[in-house]
Structure 1
């Protein structure tokens, strides 16, 4: 089968080559793949820890057609990959937090990914896509939507409470829509004024005196520090990314005197994904797509990934 392969890190080292078909799980014919910051950074050599095997097939967001029957998955089902590898026996797995498995990792990083014609996946990592969800939205669920859902769920916001979301990229666009469905009063810091059509208040500049019960900020660095002032007393700041940097400064007195909480969130569990698919099967979601490319034109897709202003990049087979 054909696959995208890297022998060494760097986009210039990408090759399209014939490789052996994988085995050991349910065979899936890949139909769609996402291009996200994780995939981009892995290929560029910015995610060098734990990448295995080498040479490596990247690709962590995959939607395809099951080619085999399993216990619950049937041949012909549209499926997406739950992209966390876990052993099922560590403390985290036993407590229902398999996405934090001590002996696990991210599918497509610690294993070969899905930038190929076929993949082979353990059935426990495959989820059937409801018929009402289109393919482009489906391929974006395993990382973008799941990360968003887990972040909101971690905050445990009360219905009607205020939530402020920083950014409306792949995760942010899902965060604001899921929050709206959950009955929250949603505000977003973004240049995408069209989000107002969802009953969301869009800030191009956040008023200095604005505060919310929950603030979700995946941007990192100085923006994370700045967002703390918009967390009200006993409110929560949820973070799941370091887009602009890993370090930030905080006023500790502000945190403890106002009992503010800073909470990390990452990925999601299989239970989260099960719940999310139910929500998404009952509600229409808006997903802006910047461009679709053939998987074999991935070098052009990677070039445009850093230049685009908005929308997803989808790779097709």
Structure 2
């Protein structure tokens, strides 16, 4: 007989991570309610900085979390233990991943045009519905992505948030051979963006405050790595000296100064992709620069990324921890002590 309950890390109220707000609880297993639902045993769940922002209450004004108590976690990989009677694409025993896009209406203009991640009625894994800091989860087969045997679960999990975020942002930066792209922030997302941009033939310049992140970027193929200075103007001066102005830039560092520096670091007519929450402090229309936002990706984007990962040498740098260690892992992430991506393994 299958177990009827599970362990999960639960957030009852938003609070600083140092106060250990996530509590290890025993909860009833989630149940299949719809014909195409899947009951999934979780094998790995990545730990995202946006989890930290939600847990500490930084995003209350954005309605996140929209339910409490909540089980965080939105980059989930597991094995299907039971499939609803209406499931056709996914079967028992399949290994699948769940990204932040848990579901959408499938009826609006965004959904019908393949941009369901922009749906106004989208549900977000681990924010508006229960997430992956747990042993089991139920999800619709319409919104899961099969994972090939060539990628193990701990390395697959980060594909479902930092991976799709990096993939979408790199595509938005219009990469091409002979074009340079600066990647501001080389952590869980940035270390994947460095590699994906190199696959497109771009000259990649990694930008970070931390030497260990700059060293990681070089190890993963960055053509140059420039230390970020506190002053955007000071940084751009150093960039011009070492590299020259860039054709495009992608911002993953959650800082208005980083966004400002990125805009100043690209040539006139250049392109800046912003993949974080943050305001644009300075912008001059007369330089004809373009600032473009990007967020996660569609179901097709997710499938395309998994295919790229399975057929390439894309290296997902991880460290693994037990589910009960989630508070400590998030505290290390807050203090920039995680090299790239931390993954919880129940």
TM-score normalised by structure 2 residue count: 0.84
Q: Tell me, in whole angstroms, the C-alpha distance in 2 between the residues paired with 1:82 and 1:124.
A: 12
For residue 198 of structure 1, report the CA deviation from its aligned partner: 4.1
Structure 2 residue 336 is the aligned partner of structure 1 residue 304: no
Report the equivalent of 1:115: 133
CA distance in 2, matches of 1:251, 1:75: 52
Residue 17 of structure 2 is aligned to residue 28 of structure 1: no
For residues 247-303 of structure 1, the C-alpha deviation after alignment (integer angstroms, 9 at most, x for no partner) is: 342241xxx3332101111111111111111111111222332x4221022222233
Q: Distance in 1 between matches of 2:22 and 2:99?
A: 25
Matched residue SS, 2:270: strand
249, 254, 267: which one pairs with 1:232? 267
* Partner Cα distance (1:16, 1:63) in 2: 20
Q: CA deviation at 1:306?
A: 2.1
Please say if residues 151 and 240 of structure 1, whose CA atoms lie closer than 8 Å, have aligned partners that are also in contact. Answer: yes
- Deviations along 1:153-206, one digit per CA (max 9) or x if unpaired, are 123233331111112111101101011111212111133224324442232345
SS of the residue corresponding to residue 34 of structure 1 reads: strand
Matched pairs, number: 310
Q: Which portions of structure 1, spanning 4 or more consecutive aligned residues, are displaced by more than 6 angstroms?
A: none
Distance 1:50 1:316 in 2: 25
Q: What residue in structure 1 maps to residue 245 of structure 2?
A: 211
**Bigger shift: residues 7-16 or 220-229:** 7-16
Deviation string 1:45-91 (CA, Å, 9 cap, x unpaired) is 22331424322111111111111243122222221103213111122
Answer yes or no: is the 8 Å Cα contact 1:6–1:13 preserved in 2.
Answer: yes
Aligned in 2, Cα 1:184/1:54: closer, same or farther, shift over 3 Å? Answer: same
Partner of 1:314: 343
Q: 1:52, 1:112 within 8 Å by CA — same for their partners in 2?
A: no
- In structure 1, runs of 5+ residues without a counterpart are none
Report if the CA contact (8 A) 2:205-2:224 is conserved: yes
Q: Distance in 2 between the 1:43 and 1:170 partners?
A: 18
CA RMSD of aligned residues (A): 1.8
Alpha-carbon separation, structure 1, partners of 2:122 and 2:196: 28
SS at match of 2:59: coil
Tell me the equivalent position of 1:179: 197
1:57 aligns with 2:71: yes
